[in-house]
Structure 1
Amino acid sequence: MTGPVTAGDSINDPRPVLSGTGTPNDVITIFDSVNGGATQQIGVVTVGADGNWTWRPDTPLGNAQHAITTTATDEAGNVSVPSSDITFTVDTTPPVTPVITDVAGVATGGATDDATPTLSGTGTTGDQVIIYNNGVEIARVFVDAGVWTYTPDTALPNGTLNLTASSIDAAGNVSGTSPVYSVTIDTVAPTTPLVDSVSDSNLVGGVHYTQDTAPTLSGTGEPGATITVSIDNTPSTITAVVQPDGTWTWSPDPALADNTSHTLVVTSTDAAGNLSGSTTITLNVDNLPPSAPADLALTEQGTPLTGTGEAGSTITVRDGTTVIGTGVVGQDGTFSIALTPAQTNPTTLEVTAIDLAGNVSAETPFTVVDVPDLPAIPVIATLIDNEGPVTGDVKGRSSDDTTPTLNGTAVAGSTVTLYLDGVLLDTVVADATTGAWSYTPTTELTEGLHRFEVTATVDGQTSGLSPAATVTIDTTAPAAPTIGAVTDDVGPGTGPLTTGQATNDDRPTLSGTATPGDTLSVYDNGNLLGTVVVGATGAWSFTPPSALSNDTHSLTVRATDPAGNQGPESAPFVVIVDTVSTTPVITGAEDNVGTVVNVPSGGTTNDATPLLSGTAEANSTIAIFEGGTQIGTVLANASGAWSFTPTSPLTDGTHTFNVTATDPLGNVSSSSNQYTVIVDTVVPDTPVLTAVTDNVPGGVNGALTSGQVTNDSTPTLDRHGK
């Protein structure tokens, strides 16, 4: 602290400047009474022609109370009565370092969702506590009864606070800095946890079927978050923590009951207490074997084998140890399985069922009787899609072509009979030489799964059914996907961004959910960045292959399903990429001792703590360097202006300053211009007048004595001193 001292103040300047008024040329004698003791002379000074005088002790005053009085002695030697005293206390002892004891009830290193956390601590009553974040002052509060508190007026941004504190006493002495108290402010909900798998289960129609009463759920989430699983609306007492690699596992304890169905809802809570969205799965615990296949029948062509069983179970047909056919029981409880090879010779087949949970039924034997020789079973080789962006063979896949072309082979010249979903569709004749055949439906297929099968007829004998060729007709465009999160992976601040937020990560990661198997096209301001395929769980993520420019980027995604249908674009997620901090400028240095003046670069000042000022990027942190050593930091205001006063006096001599700026995103600028000041606080010796010479003829000529009258209006003065 600098400036005028009020009577009774404490100061930390042991050489304060005393000033006053008097009669020009009078001699002012200065006296000091230390701690109420005897008055002692400590200095003299002559009143200037303007009636003002100033004096500064050559020897520092001690740490004590000082009562300063003065007397004036005129040119005739008359001494005035002493002036009224001015009392002040010199105190150069630093105060006790304060302590930060609590921030929002969170231990150091922890996190909070409170954007205006209350800081509290201890200190010396009457001292003022200076609070810093990352070395930049953010507030000052007074200590009352040994304690202090501070609550920000406005919400702080998400990120880590590295808080320290120091005290400044009434004299202006500054204590050391307290240990760092780190707290992370996090008001962003963690990413919704995903369930990637359920151990020993079979996922069918959105339901996980398992025999395991304590299956392990595995998934992904935000590292460090706590996973909570609610079973049928009741939160489990068993939780899991997401590992640093983003994975987690969980098993119910106690185990689930046999033969029960449950709804499991998975959420996560981060270290700050923010709750995520939820993921729901259905779990069916099934320990009962399905009923054995029944009502078995085989066509005279030796295939297919038909029968009944538990809906959704898988039927396996074996000839001895060889599997010759498998199929799934439909929702109506029936099945039809193509056998390879067709069974036209006497034998006994074993037929079993495995339900969705993996339980195996008892075997059902089936006896095959002898049948006449039949034509070879024809083949459906391809199902050709001729429409939309996805064309070619779509057998076993999805297609947006409602009249795909079937191609295949059969016995040359045979009549090929086509079946659609088990119903007679049409016939064609195979080529008489090559046996090739082709067919395009004349009626459009409806949306959904369709099954084509064919037989070949020669001389009244009909072959068995061919293996089925399936296609899923899909002409519905997928819904617009959602960009669930855009994540900054570059420090110092990392984590999910909000739309419109700035980031120093020029390759932020996009993630979200969409329909499994869809291909997402990612766009930046309408320009394609790349594509990504949605995983089996519906989760996807994408990192730009190259850096985004320093600019505003409107990111969108668009889904194309396996059939080639393209959906609308998602809502835009806007990020502002900023990886550069503007170079700051030192514009001036201010001398605050006596008359306030600006000191140009290279100029001289008697102020050992000159005020540096300049411009920088708004709200950036300015690091001040002197001769290559950092001596402090200060925060630029919303207009980019900043100023800094050294906390310790500079030594006499030349000092060269430069600064750097770290913007709110953590980008560090290049170094500013250099600004040099020369500090000179040494008071020159008082000059002594040794002679006055009269040079005008008439009257007295030559050396004059003090008080003598002369007619020379420009006498010659001799003196020595600096």
Structure 2
Amino acid sequence: AGVWNLTATATDAAGNTSAASEIRSFTIDTTAPAAPVIDTVYDGTGPITGNLSSGQITDEARPVISGTREANTAIRLYDNGTLLAEIPADNSNSWRYTPDASLATGNHVITVIAVDAAGNASPVSDSVNFVVDTTPPLTPVITSVSDDQAPGLGTIANGQNTNDPTPTFSGTAEAGATITLYENGTVIGTTTAQPDGAWSVATSTLASGTHVITAVATDAAGNSSPNSTAFTLTVDTTAPQTPILTSVVDDVAGGVTGNLANGQITNDNRPTLNGTAEAGSVISIYDGNTLLGVTSANAGGAWSFTPTTGLNDGTRTLTVTATDPAGNVSPATSGFTIVVDTLAPTVPLITSIVDDVPNNTGAIGNGQSTNDTQPTLNGTAEANSAVSIFDNGALVATVNANASGNWSWTPTSALGQGSHAYSVSAADAAGNVSAASPSTTIIVDTIAPGAPGNLVINATGNRVTGTAEAGSTVTITSETGVVLGTATADGTGSFTATLTPAQTNGQPLLAFAQDKAGNTGIAAGFTAPDTRVPEAPIITNVVDDVGIYTGAIANGQVTNDAQPTLNGTAQAGATVSIYNNGALLGTTTANASGNWSFTPTGNLTEGSHAFTATATNAN
């Protein structure tokens, strides 16, 4: 090796040597140049540009390959062992190559060697490999868009409103592809598809309004897919106005029906709420913090809601919110309070029915008679409840129990004769009605019984028998009203009364009956036996009423009247026996004044007639 300067001479056969030739110089070089280096493989195409790392995939089919070499060496570039190009030598230490034609799709292992002017070849450089991929990935698919902004959580339909300014897009694409979300050419989100192709990414914050969003998949080589089908959504983060609760309606009979006032008691545990709100908004009805249910405002903004399950008894505070299609929630309405009471009051009681009409006054027993056509009913019930009073099943009055639960009622008009079965029920302020009380029956009777009859007093004057209205009380009195005895007529009307003291002087007596209702009938008079010996009767005159000479006949006088009338006096009520010449002629009875009169029923015979009289008292 080294520089060689050569000349030549010619020597003929005779041994003569010519002059030397011109000097010819050359260098002998048998030393191979150093191995060149591949510094970079540059991708300048598509969304992914820059220097490729060894093994990288690229969509660049004509990458720029560059490196360093020994000056004045030519570079031979090999692709998968096949000479791809030869780069002439120059005096620089760098080299650069861009393929004239696109490289084939697939793996490319690039190596280079340097060849010096002597033709010495360097060792092969370290290889650089990359994969050319110019096939775009499949178009990605947006499978769902979700809203995670309360309260409208869940899937957003294409074209729907949302209150989530950063909704999450999910879909499928080529495994490992970079997914880029675009809106009008602006990137609003990127992510990488998982090995199974699934991807999910939240957008950057979107302004209020309508957004048309597409997804593009870019593979590792930088090839981009066509745009996905556009997904349209409208971001709305403005809450609707507070809805208006216009009425809460009770439609359960009893108590208040119709519109309830704030704070009112109701027996309707499923009242209907009505109101207005933003058209199309979802109306949420709350009892305190508990959601009762939802309904929707119609195109005119009107809404109505009835709970499907009854509210619990007690104070219920109802509020309403409106949620627009984007999921924005309005402020809640002011609380509307109702007091739900579905518990019927305890059964009220009739504690007494009072008769204040003589003769039987005071409490009337169940089934008892009374002569009071306006008796007073008293009882107890739930405090301040409305007590309904029924007579034989018909409502006749309603009164209010006081704060202590007591109530009282007197009919304003006279009750009819007969049986009156009273019962009561109580209605509380909510309109709940109790069960009916047990009935209490009274019998109104204002008809006085008749006078006792068939009165018989025994000879000793201490017992009176007779008949009167069955069940009535018979009272025996003197003429002056002194009670001598009482008895109760049995079921057949018969009675026996014992008199104290015994009446044996022929006194006038009275008997009257009082029925169970206290009505007193007219009295019947009768006379006590008279056990006294009566005084002798007196014949005061004998009267002739026949012929010319009439009038009193003097003792011993002659008369033409064969049936003269004898008059006299005796003990009142006594039986007067008239004798003619000692023979009984007939009898008569002295009246209450003691006067008596007798006329023979047949003609007296001609002759003298001596009249006498005796008296026998009634007993």
Per the normalisation by structure 1, the TM-score is 0.37
Question: TM-score by structure 2 length?
Answer: 0.43
Structure label with greater radius of gyration: 2
